[in-house]
Amino acid sequence: MLYFEDFPVGEVIVFGDKLVSAEQIVAFATEWDPQPFHVDAEAAKASQIGELIASGWHTGAMLMRMMCDAYLLDSASEGSPGIEEMRWQKPVRPGDRLTVRRTTLSARASRSRPAIGIVGLQFDVNNQHGETALLLKTSAFLRRRPEIAP
Amino acid sequence: MMAFFEDIVIGEERRLGEHAFSREAIVAFARQYDPQRFHIDEEAAKDSIFEGLCASGWHVAAAAMRCIVDARSRALAERQALGEALPPLGVSPGVENLRWPNPTRPGDIVTYYNRVVSKRETKRPQWGLVFLHTWGVNQHGREAIAMDNRAFIGRRGDITAPL
């Protein structure tokens, strides 16, 4: 179980291996972001990017799932108050393979909740060409490690 | 936001639409993308700082996007009915200051709005960049989500829209 204390500032970890399919891109976008360049490969040719690309919110949701699978489900996570910055720097296309690089930027105790710590994290979601498709800076609430009885 | 870049008025506010969050939908979204205990398990959620089941923040954000797209589709249809040209649809380079001030619970209905904060031309003559503040309020008047977002919007110029 990972607690607040297990996120030292400066730590970098790499995780995730997500192969993105056209079916997944279209399925997410059909429900949440049905713009032509997310749901229709033919119509996407006339768009700004010129081909089918994943919704940026889908890329964010895929990052979330990779975080859950890599460490968050085995942590004392108490959610997140928000995302300071989210940059969709490169399109995510069918066939892309995504991995994540997490950097711990800051760590501090919560003033209002003594049992909680707040960790500042940066996530770089990279594709198979080494390009950063999504850059995200966020804060995470984590419970502090309980005192161990002597 | 639905007009050409040149037509967009700073300060203009728009109701985008609303989205209902059922228990089943909250759990289904979270099982797929964010299976943390407070999004999928009512009992386990009681021990979290949320003190009960709540929607993934990505779910609340995705619903905002759906409302944006639906509002844009309605506006485009209106323009089409008037025989007017359609602005090209652009992508968004990013979002800042996304916050979830209050949890979204089973049964909540969130109404989404946005306001044009500013706009500027880009290096590419066919696109302008519009800066928006977008937010959602639940049926109790509490803010569920807020963010500063941006989008490329086609400029009128003398171009012919691809759609």
Average pLDDT value for residue range B49-70: 96
| B102 touches A at CB < 8 Å | no
Average pLDDT value for residue range A33-47: 90
Is residue A149 predicted with pLDDT exceeding 70? no
Q: Cα B70–B72–B74 angle (5° rounding)? A: 70
Complex ipTM over 0.90? yes
Decide if B62 and A33 are in contact by the 8 Å CB cutoff: yes
Instruction: Please write down the HEC assignment for all residues of chain B.
Output: CCCCHHHCCCCCEEEEEEEEECHHHHHHHHHHHCCCHHHHCHHHHCCCCCCCCCCCHHHHHHHHHHHHHHHHHHHHHHHHHCCCCCCCECCCCEEEEEECCCCCCCCEEEEEEEEEEEEEECCCCCEEEEEEEEEEECCCCCEEEEEEEEEEEECCCCCCCCC
pTM: 0.94
Q: What is the mean pLDDT of chain A?
A: 95
Question: Could you report the per-residue pLDDT of B89-140, keeping only the tens digit for each?
Answer: 688 899 999 999 999 999 999 999 999 999 999 888 888 999 999 999 999 9
Domains of chain B with bracketed CATH: 5-154 (3.10.129.10)
Q: Which CATH class is domain A4-143?
A: alpha beta
Question: Could you report the per-residue pLDDT of A59-77, keeping only the tens digit for each?
Answer: 999 999 999 999 999 999 9
Residues of A with a Cβ under 8 Å from any B Cβ are 31-37, 43, 46-49, 53, 55-57, 60-62, 64-65, 68, 72-73, 77-89, 91, 113, 116, 141
- What is the distance between the alpha carbons of residues A120 and A8, in angstroms, rounded to a whole number? 10
